[in-house]
Structure 1
Amino acid sequence: MSAFTSARPSRRPNPRMLAACAVAAAGLAITGGGVYAALNATAFNTAPQAASSGTLSLTMASNGTGFSQGISNLAPGDTVNRYISLTQGDTMDGKDITLGVADGTPTLLTTSATKGLHVTVTSCPTAWTPGTGAGTCSGATTVLLASTPLSTLTAAPVSVKSGVNAASSVLNLQISLALPDQTETVTNGVAPAGTIQGLSSALTWTFGETQRTATVTGS
């Protein structure tokens, strides 16, 4: 007998058997799918429901003498008044109002808390009537911002009004700019170091607000 035995030839799969298995598997798949079949139902509104979002807006307008009218030749102790109106948009209430100021050409007028300009904001329930001096209000005035260095407003916006700003409401404001009293001595035509004289600024006044408090309603 030889030391090596010959390996048995491998059997090839029977094609008929493979076909039968495939048919059986397909039958099981169909049967399995049938097990999970179920009835379904849906319901929907036949008339579309309207839904819309509101718009938050705040617009500014001059009242006679506004920010578009420049201020010149200020002397220490002077106060200049300007008048504007802020109108709330007509679809959504706002909340709280802040005021910030940017200076395109910073000088001591807007960077010094002691020498620079100070601002006061006063509201009137009706439109202000500008005058040669302080304007007049046909109602009780409210100081929204007491005298504050303009440098504070250029650093960050400050609050000038808290609470709800009702849609379509108008806020009538008097903006008073004052150059504080201070003493300087000009010697032989030469101003001292750190003088407040001969300076100019380019001011942009920005009022901001937030949306009203979000609500949950059932009607």
Structure 2
Amino acid sequence: MADHARRRSARRPVALAVIGGSVLVAMGAGVWATLSATAANVTPETISSGTLKLTLAANGAGFDQSIANLAPGDTVNRYVDLTSGGSLDAQALTMQVAATGSSALVTDGASTKALRVTVKQCPGTWNTATGACGGTASTLLPATALSGLGSAQSLIAGAVTAGSVAHLQVSVQLPDQTETTVNGTLPTATIQGLTANLTYTFAETQRSATTTGS
């Protein structure tokens, strides 16, 4: 009985220590429980992204009108309107021409026989019958051989305002040159009786990114 009483007495401090430790753990957890507060906007903030659009339309005779029977020195004008119709301002308007067909008309060499393209812009309205501009026309691209238009060429380096319309005159010229047809036989590397097919691609990029508080 005495041994049993001593064992019970020995276990009692251990049990008290365990209980005390549990109380301390519980008290420790209670130390980290603090007040908190939050705030949020009642009305959600609406964010919308802008749009960048470029459309091409014929203004009278456009690119869908074929050009036939060109003679050396001839120039034919085509008129198109480019509309930057998105909500974002743009910049860096370019033009590229993919040309297929007879190499004498497409590839420029020392003979300078190939077709040339010139682009002008009118701030007003083009008279598509006479080529007169209702204002002062500006040259966006001087006469350039098709071989130089296989990559994008700059037309407007700066800003293109959203909603603006560029009234363009695109001229195709067969350079002045001399050939002699003998007894009905066309000369070698002739520019006569040939065909070229041109696809014009205009492009623009978005305006520079901004940081604003408005």
* TM-score for both structures, normalised by structure 1: 0.80
2:173 pairs with 167, 175, 178, which one?
178
> Distance in 1 between the 2:180 and 2:60 partners?
37
Say if 2:37 is the partner of 1:58: no
Structure-2 residue corresponding to 1:119: 117
How many Å apart are 1:216 and its aligned residue? 1.1
Amino acid at match of 2:127: T
Compared CA separation, residues 26 and 111, structure 1 to 2 (3 A): farther
> Identity of paired residues, percent?
51
Q: Is the 8 A contact 1:107 1:200 kept in 2?
A: no
Structure-2 residue corresponding to 1:110: 106
After TM superposition, the structure 1 stretch with the greater mean CA deviation from structure 2, 189-198 or 175-184, is 189-198
Say if 2:155 is the partner of 1:157: no
How many Å apart are 1:158 and its aligned residue? 0.5
After TM superposition, the structure 1 stretch with the greater mean CA deviation from structure 2, 54-63 or 190-199, is 190-199
Structure-2 residue corresponding to 1:190: 185
Unaligned runs of 5+ in 2: 1-14
Amino acid at match of 1:48: P
Structure-1 residue corresponding to 2:213: 218
1:12-91 matches, within 5 Å, as 36-91=32-87
Unaligned runs of 5+ in 1: 1-19
| 1:28-82: CA deviation from partner (whole Å, max 9, x where unpaired) | 9877765654443322100011110100011111111010100011111000000
Compared CA separation, residues 29 and 75, structure 1 to 2 (3 A): farther
Structure-2 residue corresponding to 1:6: none
Q: Is the 8 A contact 2:73 2:175 kept in 1?
A: yes
Q: What count of residue pairs does the alignment treat as equivalent? A: 198
Structure-1 residue corresponding to 2:6: none
> Distance in 1 between the 2:104 and 2:20 partners?
93
Structure-1 residue corresponding to 2:9: none
Compared CA separation, residues 200 and 42, structure 1 to 2 (3 A): same
How many Å apart are 1:89 and its aligned residue? 1.3
Compared CA separation, residues 26 and 65, structure 1 to 2 (3 A): farther
| 1:58-110: CA deviation from partner (whole Å, max 9, x where unpaired) | 11111110101000111110000000111111411111210100124352212
| 1:155-183: CA deviation from partner (whole Å, max 9, x where unpaired) | x1100112111111111011111000112
Structure-2 residue corresponding to 1:128: 126
Compared CA separation, residues 193 and 106, structure 1 to 2 (3 A): closer
Compared CA separation, residues 169 and 24, structure 1 to 2 (3 A): same
> Distance in 1 between the 2:105 and 2:24 partners?
89
Compared CA separation, residues 139 and 30, structure 1 to 2 (3 A): same
Q: Is the 8 A contact 2:80 2:169 kept in 1?
A: yes
* TM-score for both structures, normalised by structure 2: 0.82
Name the Cα RMSD after superposition: 2.6
